Amino acid sequence: MRGDTKPDVCVIGLGYIGLPTAAIIARAGCPVHGVDVTQSVVDTINRGEIHIEEVDLDGLVQAVVQRGLLKASTEIAPADVFVIAVPTPFAKDGNHTPDTSYVMAAAEKVATVLKKGDTVILESTSPVGTTEAMRDAIAAKRPDLAMPGLCDGQPDVSLAYCPERVLPGKILEELTHNDRSIGGITPRCARKALAFYKRFVKGECVTTDARSAEMTKLVENAFRDVNIAFANELSMIADRQGLDVWEVIRLANRHPRVNILTPGPGVGGHCIAVDPWFIVHGAPEEAKIIRQARETNDAKMHHVLARAKALVEANPGAKIACLGLAFKANIDDFRESPARYVAASLAREFGERVQVVEPYAGELPREFDGTGAELVDIDAALEESGVLITLVDHDVFKVIPPEERQGKAVYDTRGIWPDVA
């Protein structure tokens, strides 16, 4: 890469983060080689189509594929900059241990084509120390290359960590406009990565070291989780003491320096329910509040299920409408969703009495198979059900007027209907 020549970029992992990132880099004029282990993902993208739901992404991918700027493959290819956006789930050990094996597999692929002058950037949400571990994995495969932090003189390649903090549904906008923390293994690595992001990011890019950047991402989600746990704990205390938690929070938030969040049926999704455990895993003795917040938010889901069951049992024979399966409002993402867990548990216990309303689902997820529960639209649910359990604050549920809910037993776990305590 010389002068202002556009760098060749290789993006590894073409999911919710990798594909929009690849498309935006391509839009900035850099030729992008996208890599994914899933053949169907590669084939879809090469047709100019997309395999995930994201606002405006279809048009952008179609345009950059047509212009020849984005090509996908299952095979790695040489590039000037490598961006890794593969999953970082838990290991299946039941202890919430971070599984960085996808990152290491991607790094080892990169090692096979890496050359002097290249930059490798990890974007996957990762435990502190992962970028260094990735560097060590590459160093073991490529002893011919001087690696940052491991050599005395100038290293041959640069390695950096740059987390994503985008909101699904606004990914394209936020990828471009959000501020970014860019952490290098060395300050020079950070500067190299910064120069790359400047090509397509309009937000402020702040450089730091790799470990701080890794921790920053985890801390952002742990902060949200702890604050949600406070609200959820309050809601369980309020239930015990016969108080209306919404009223208490509304009044407390009139204090100029108090801003309590909204309780719900727990915390779901791929980030807030997962990332705090990476902190706990790294410092189990110290991360006490962070661990407790995770446990409190999980406990809230079981608390909601118990209250919902009690309401159903108090209304024998009535149809039960569960409103929502998504992990948050107005999206079609059902991963790790407490709403989905509560609705499926009720379906297993109360079978055909359960109706699920989820405007963002074409069919019920697999765990509902054989339960007898059915997916219905909101009008059918309002007509037929005697019990309403609000699990997601989709806009379409918020606007249901009191008269349409009249005579029904209601458990509003999201506080969307101010007339319901």
Ligand X SMILES: NC(=O)c1ccc[n+]([C@@H]2O[C@H](COP(=O)([O-])OP(=O)(O)OC[C@H]3O[C@@H](n4cnc5c(N)ncnc54)[C@H](O)[C@@H]3O)[C@@H](O)[C@H]2O)c1
Catalytic residues: 217, 271
Q: Which amino acid is at 387?
A: V
CB closer to ligand X out of 14 and 326: 14
Site for ligand X contains 45 (CB under 6 A): no
CB closer to ligand X out of 86 and 138: 86
Site for ligand X contains 14 (CB under 6 A): yes
Site for ligand X contains 373 (CB under 6 A): no
163-182 core/surface letters (b: 16 or more CB in 10 A; e: else): bbbbebbebbebbbebebbb
Among 10, 41, 210, 272, the residue binding ligand X under the rule CB under 6 A is 41
Phi, psi angle pair for 11, to nearest 5°? -105, 125
Q: Which amino acid is at 298?
A: D
Site for ligand X contains 17 (CB under 6 A): yes
Site for ligand X contains 166 (CB under 6 A): yes
Site for ligand X contains 279 (CB under 6 A): no
Site for ligand X contains 168 (CB under 6 A): yes
Inter-helix orientation angle 210-241/130-141, to 10°: 140
Cα–Cα distance between 270 and 226 in angstroms, integer?
16
Question: What pairs with residue 319 in β-bridges?
Answer: 385
CB closer to ligand X out of 168 and 265: 168
**Of 9-17, 112-120, 204-212, 369-377, which segment contacts ligand X by CB under 6 A?**
9-17
Q: Which residues contact residue 288 at a Cβ distance below 8 angstroms, ignoring those fewer than 6 apart?
A: none
Which tokens is 57 given? 């992404």
Q: Which amino acid is at 80?
A: D
Site for ligand X contains 16 (CB under 6 A): yes
In angstroms, give the least distance from the CB of 244 to ligand X.
34
- Under DSSP, is residue 352 helix (H, G, I), strand (E, B) or coil? helix
Q: Do residues 353 and 386 touch, judged by C-beta distance below 8 A?
A: no
Helix ranges (DSSP H) in 71-170: 101-113, 130-141
CB closer to ligand X out of 88 and 345: 88
Site for ligand X contains 121 (CB under 6 A): no
Among 1, 28, 37, 206, the residue binding ligand X under the rule CB under 6 A is 37
Q: Do residues 336 and 301 touch, judged by C-beta distance below 8 A?
A: no
CB neighbourhood size of 75 (10 A) = 10
CB closer to ligand X out of 88 and 296: 88
Among 170, 270, 302, 348, the residue binding ligand X under the rule CB under 6 A is 270
Taking residues 72 to 111 in sequence order and writing x for each that binds ligand X by CB under 6 A, - otherwise, the string is -------------xxxx-------------x--xx-----
DSSP 20-34: HHHHHHHHTT--EEE
Q: What is the enclosing helix (H) or strand (E) of 291?
A: helix 288-313
CB closer to ligand X out of 90 and 230: 90
What residues from 180 to 219 belong to the interface with ligand X (CB under 6 A)?
Answer: none
Site for ligand X contains 282 (CB under 6 A): no
Nearest CA among 84, 82, 88, 180 for reference residue 126: 88
- Under DSSP, is residue 123 helix (H, G, I), strand (E, B) or coil? coil
Site for ligand X contains 34 (CB under 6 A): no
> Would you tell me which residues interact with ligand X (CB under 6 A)?
12-18, 35-38, 41, 85-88, 102, 105-106, 124-125, 164, 166, 168, 270-271
